Amino acid sequence: MGVQFYEGKEHRYIDYPVMDVLQMMGRACRPTDDERSRCVLMCQQTRKDFYKKFLAEGLPIESHLPTHMLHDYFLAEIAVKTIENKQDAMDILTWTYFYRRMTQNPNYYNLHNVSHQHLSDHLSELVENTLNDLVNSKCISIEDEMDVSALNLGMIAAYYNISYVTVEVYTLSLKERTKLKGLLEVVSSSAEFETIPIRRHEDALLRRIYDRVPVKLDKADFEAPHFKTFLLLQAHFSRLQLPPDLAADQALVLDKVLNLLSACVDVMSSNAWLNALGAMDLSQMCVQAMWETDSPLKQIPHFEPEVVKRCKEAGIESVYDIMEMEDEKRTELLQMDARQMRDVATFVNSYPTLDVNHELVKGEYTAGAPILLKVTLARDFDEDDEGDDQLVVAPYYPSKKMANWWLVVGEPSTRQLHVIKRVTVSKTLAVKLEFTLPKGAHSLKLYIICDSYVGADHDIGLDSIDVAEGEDSDSDESMDSADEE
């Protein structure tokens, strides 16, 4: 194996960090099981003295806070108001391990002196540069050259625990008419996927996968982690068999992607774009490993193409149709053994059936005045089941997941999203959605979108609403424009 690995970004072999070697050696012993263990390290003769020295002596552990995560650390603390000004940011750094190591090993942190003045100047410059980067990415604002507060993009990044760079990429790349291909490309370019490993000679295998997936790019870079992520997601939707190392990489991607898609939904809905529904569809595709053009029946375990074809010929199009079939007819149609039928029953019983009632509160609708929509969601469930009926049945998704729902009021004719709310429905839930409309006639829809199952969504047309001109609409508009400035 040696003591080097191939670094795809730099296209060369580099040494394993000594701390990684120590960790691997530590795994040679099973605590409480082994009294002794042996680790053999194979390396070149020229490297032998180096490893003997560093493996026998204790190594100091240095902080990577300023180089890897300071921006996101500050952003998270600003979002929860732990940091409210630049002085708070300075103070919070003095409580970190980074501050302790600066005084002990100044050369590592590019410090030439450990006097109080030098430390203070260095921290001050670090805080200033970091906060300016966050301002330039529109994640925070600075008032009176001192006070800091989180903006909408910063709150999204902090809530989903994702990089500020990722949110900046989303806000620059996502547009009002971005469709599935664009969404896939933007999500794959997230900073979180930069650590996906690129292995030696892996490009040949990725080329074969690229030939089998439907969505292509103008420029394919088989040695870029973002393009590899793009391919692994498509391979997941197409349910392609992958070798173990790529399957492990794919699991890493899927573990992160739902959070990123939720952030995409929030960024697009912040701009009142109704195509946020596309990111919700992509979330369903990631959980159930299927394309949006596939039959909803494909997500049921053991529903291979021939089974789906038989169902389609029999007029069975949805999971609800499978539920409503008589047992004898279902058994005859599916032609499965007892174990497979149990798996089918488990999925069908977990598949959400929502009863939706909605009421638009009547009144005189005027421009800028709040309009209230009351929505009641009731979930059919078996009283004998415990809380596990909320757990999503998704054989191709590597983690456990609970089903959540997005409630969206939008106007298809103008592609405008007016209000959005994310909820979890255990039994029944009453939700109030409040929004405003400009003057004119509006034909709205209520969308209830599941983030985990395909075909469980509701698309409900609301009564046409005529909005009269508001008395204070002129003054409101002037105030809005002043706020924007």
Return the H-helix or E-strand segment holding 410.
strand 405-411
β-sheet with 445-450: strand ranges across:
416-423, 405-411, 445-450, 458-461
pLDDT surpassing 70 at residue 372: yes
Specify whether the backbone of 239 is left (phi greater than 0), alpha (psi in -120 to 50) or beta. Answer: left
Cut 0.75: pTM above it = yes
pLDDT surpassing 70 at residue 389: no
Neighbours of 198 (CB within 10 A): 20
pLDDT at position 484 is 45
Which 3 state secondary structure label does DSSP give 445? strand
Percent of the chain at pLDDT exceeding 90: 55
Query: pLDDT, tens digit, for every residue of 398-451?
Result: 999 999 999 999 999 999 999 999 999 888 899 999 999 998 899 999 999 999
CATH fold of 354-467, please? Immunoglobulin-like (2.60.40)
Residue 432 has phi, psi (to 5 degrees) of -110, 125
Q: pLDDT band at residue 86, thresholds of 50, 70 and 90?
A: very high
Nearest-angstrom CA–CA distance, 222 and 302: 33
User: Would you list the domain boundaries of the chain?
Assistant: 4-56, 65-150, 168-350, 354-467
Per-residue CA distances from 289 to 57, 143, 204, 334, 398 (Å): 49, 46, 24, 21, 11
Region 177-192 average pLDDT: 93
Beta bridge partners of 171: none
pLDDT surpassing 60 at residue 485: no
Per CATH, domain 168-350 is 1.10.3380.10? yes
Nearest-angstrom CA–CA distance, 165 and 190: 8
Assign domain 65-150 one CATH number from 1.10.1200.10, 3.30.70.260, 1.10.10.10, 1.10.240.10.
1.10.10.10
Per-residue CA distances from 35 to 31, 38, 47, 436 (Å): 8, 11, 30, 70
Region 14-35 average pLDDT: 80
Residue 483 has phi, psi (to 5 degrees) of -65, -40
Neighbours of 110 (CB within 10 A): 9
Q: pLDDT band at residue 113, thresholds of 50, 70 and 90?
A: confident
Q: Nearest-CA neighbor of 393 among 447, 456, 321, 335?
A: 456
Beta bridge partners of 149: 141
Amino acid, single-letter form, for residue 394: A
Q: Of the ranges 132-141, 383-392, 462-471, which is most confident?
A: 132-141
pLDDT surpassing 80 at residue 70: yes
pLDDT surpassing 90 at residue 212: yes
Neighbours of 234 (CB within 10 A): 20
Widest CA span of the chain, in angstroms? 86
Contacts with 385 (C-beta within 8 Å, 6 or more apart), sequence order = 349
Weakest-pLDDT range from 49-53, 68-72, 330-334, 369-373: 49-53
Q: Nearest-CA neighbor of 373 among 462, 268, 473?
A: 462
Per-residue CA distances from 426 to 159, 386, 405 (Å): 23, 11, 11
Q: Nearest-CA neighbor of 411 among 225, 243, 312, 274?
A: 274
What burial class does residue 164 get, using C-beta atoms within 10 Å of its C-beta: 0-12 exposed, 13-18 middle, 19+ buried?
Answer: buried
Query: Is residue 134 within 8 Å of residue 154, measured between CB atoms?
Result: yes
Residue 148 has phi, psi (to 5 degrees) of -120, 145
Region 164-184 average pLDDT: 93
Q: Nearest-CA neighbor of 370 among 415, 433, 426?
A: 433
pLDDT at position 387 is 46
pLDDT surpassing 90 at residue 1: no
pLDDT at position 38 is 82
**65-150 and 354-467 share one CATH topology?**
no
Residue 402 has phi, psi (to 5 degrees) of -100, 150
Average pLDDT over the chain, rounded to whole?
88
pLDDT surpassing 70 at residue 385: no
**CA atoms lying within 13 Å on the CB side of residue 116:** 0
pLDDT at position 140 is 94
pLDDT at position 260 is 95
Which 3 state secondary structure label does DSSP give 182? helix
Q: Nearest-CA neighbor of 100 among 112, 88, 109?
A: 109
Q: What angle do CA 279, 283, 284 make, to 5 degrees?
A: 120
Q: pLDDT band at residue 55, thresholds of 50, 70 and 90?
A: confident
